[in-house]
Amino acid sequence: MAKKKAGGRIFRCSSCGYSQPKWLGRCPGCGEWNTLEEQFQEADFTPGFASSAAAVRQTDEAHPIPLEQVEVHDTVRITTGISEFDRVLGGGAVKRSAVLIGGEPGIGKSTLLLQAAAATAAGTVGQRTLYVSGEESAGQIRGRADRLGVPLKNIELLCTNSVENIEKVLNNLNPLIVIIDSVQTLFSPQAGTIPGTINQLKYCANELVQWVKERDAALFLTAHVTKEGVIAGPKVLEHMVDTVISFERNEDDVRFLRALKNRFGSVDELGIFRMDEKGLAAVQDPAALFIIQRQGELPAGSATVPVFEGSRVFMVEIQALTVPAKGTMTRVFSDKIDSARVSRVAAVLEKRIGLRFSDQDIYINVAGGIRLREPAIDLALALALYSARTDIPARKNEAFIGELSLAGEIRPVRRLKPLIKTAQSLGFTQLYVPAAAGDGDEPEPAMQGITRVENLAETIKCAFGAGK
């Protein structure tokens, strides 16, 4: 391709960074309209992406080595001083790793990281933490720190959105923990003229991730989310980092921290916090957090089940409501349990029990706002739907454990004994569990208060004195 001489004009896309010598209404690189802006080019360039910030870095020539000759180094973790945060991370933040935390505005991302920064800085000797804010002023962050009552020693604060300035400070300070709040505010003139574009996010995040990969530090990035609850920006942002964490909340002051991706640990762990005047406080014993304490009997439409979240067991109450459909189409309203799963369980009830749901709108809720994905909740969901449809309540001390097949059979679940132990310790004296053996830890036949069931009809007959 012909090259433009130094000192000429170019037109660069503010969205993707594509450059070319003539103005066009639509960018050939990303397809956006009216994003090409005139700039002065001081060096030769090749039209396209080669002259933009997305250009591939020129590095030393690389050579492959046999995999068997690669040395394995022990994973070194940095504890954040917050037990629930460390649990989700897999025991702490790994050095030379990047963590992306997404959550809706005001949920507590900045509060969590400020508390973690203070705890980490206080627990290390001669190591500093750099907190970079592109959204708030230094006075706002100091005011939050004073309200939280966190120690401020060894925490360096930098209020800027320039990646070049951040890298200069990082090279001079060489901190142990780097916090960027937030990644959507980062800006580099090498990646366009507008912050928050796809090209800016990819370029700026890549610059910081590459920096931390070469040093014994850990990088935390906060991110905005869309109205659908997913992290805003390109999906490649989640591929760049080592860990992706989702920060969620329920209707109360309870916050849930869950790993969506973790190269150094499990994605099954759940961190639970309460928000108070002193910031986020870890919930130490959450087993009974999601159980509603009632004086009387259970209302119709409720069933309780113990579930695993990572290495811990929680007792949760599933609530169901059925009402006649107002139109020809029935609907399922369920955001804590997959609506397709609810429809499948309702279809099994209709086919195997003869209880009609095809003319009903179904509403499903989980007390406490926790999201459930365990197969073991199928039986409790079916009993809650049956109770709601017939208006017959279950007994208060009953819990239901089991996966439901399309044939109405109760299939075994993994790690049954810890589920039973937790339920009994919280006062549940009658448990319905699968009759078939699972992974070798099924209860003994003589265990008091344990009823083994083979199918859905048998369970309904035992629990409600009904069914076929």
pLDDT band at 41 (very low <50, low <70, confident <90, very high): low
pTM (two decimals): 0.77
Handedness of CA 171, 80, 254, 246 (dihedral sign): positive
What average pLDDT does this structure show over 50-79? 69
The CA distance from 302 to 309, in Å, is 21
* Phi, psi dihedral angles at 180 (to 5 degrees): -115, 120
pLDDT value for 307: 93
Q: Give yes or no for residue 351 having a pLDDT over 90.
A: yes
* pLDDT at position 46: 52
How far apart CA 170 and CA 172 sit, in angstroms, is 5
Contacts of 400 (CB under 8 A, 6+ apart): 303, 304, 305, 379, 380, 383, 431, 432, 459, 463
- What is the DSSP code (8-state) at residue 67? G
Beta strand 97-103 with 243-249 is: parallel
Count CB-CB contacts under 10 A for residue 113.
Answer: 24
Higher pLDDT, 229 or 410: 410
User: In 3-state terms, what secondary structure has residue 119?
Assistant: helix
Task: Work out the pLDDT band at 466, boundaries 50, 70, 90.
Answer: low
pLDDT at residue 55 is higher than 50: no
Whether the CB-CB separation of 254 and 125 falls below 8 Å is answered with no
Structure confidence at residue 42 as a pLDDT band (50, 70, 90): low
Alpha helices by DSSP H, listed for 182-303, are 198-213, 236-240
What band does 102 get if pLDDT is binned at 50, 70 and 90?
very high
The whole-number pLDDT of residue 48 equals 52
Average pLDDT of the segment spanning 315-344: 93
In which band, very low, low, confident or very high, does the pLDDT at 76 lie, cut at 50, 70 and 90?
confident
Inter-axis angle of helices 138-148 and 109-123, nearest 10 = 70
- Label residue 252 exposed, middle or buried (CB < 10 Å: 0-12, 13-18, 19+): exposed
Helix boundaries (H) for 105-159? 109-123, 138-148
Mean pLDDT of the residues in the chain: 86
- As a whole number of angstroms, the distance between CA 294 and CA 428 comes to 14
Please report which confidence band the pLDDT of residue 220 belongs to, taking 50, 70 and 90 as the band edges: very high
DSSP H or E stretch at residue 348: helix 339-352
- DSSP, collapsed to helix, strand or coil, labels residue 430 as strand
Q: What is the pLDDT of residues 172-195, one digit of tens each?
A: 999 999 999 989 999 998 887 777
Whether 158 and 129 have beta carbons less than 8 Å apart is answered as: no
pLDDT band, very low/low/confident/very high, at 439 (cuts 50, 70, 90): low
Q: Give me the pLDDT at residue 259, please.
A: 93
1-35 pLDDT per residue, tens:
344 444 567 888 877 777 888 888 888 877 788 88
Q: Return the percentage of the chain with pLDDT > 90, whole number.
A: 56
Q: What is the pLDDT of residue 440?
A: 54
pLDDT digits (tens, 9 = 90+) for 231-274: 888 889 999 999 999 998 877 788 999 999 999 998 888 899 99
Domains of the chain in sequence order:
1-52 (no CATH), 77-282 (3.40.50.300), 302-464 (3.30.230.10)
- Please report the pLDDT score of residue 191 as a whole number: 83
Top-confidence residue, 197 or 357: 357
Percent of the chain with pLDDT over 70: 90
Give the model confidence (pLDDT) of 120-178 as tens digits.
888 776 688 999 999 999 999 999 999 999 888 889 999 999 999 999 999 999 999 99
Q: How far apart are CA 150 and CA 135, in angstroms?
A: 21
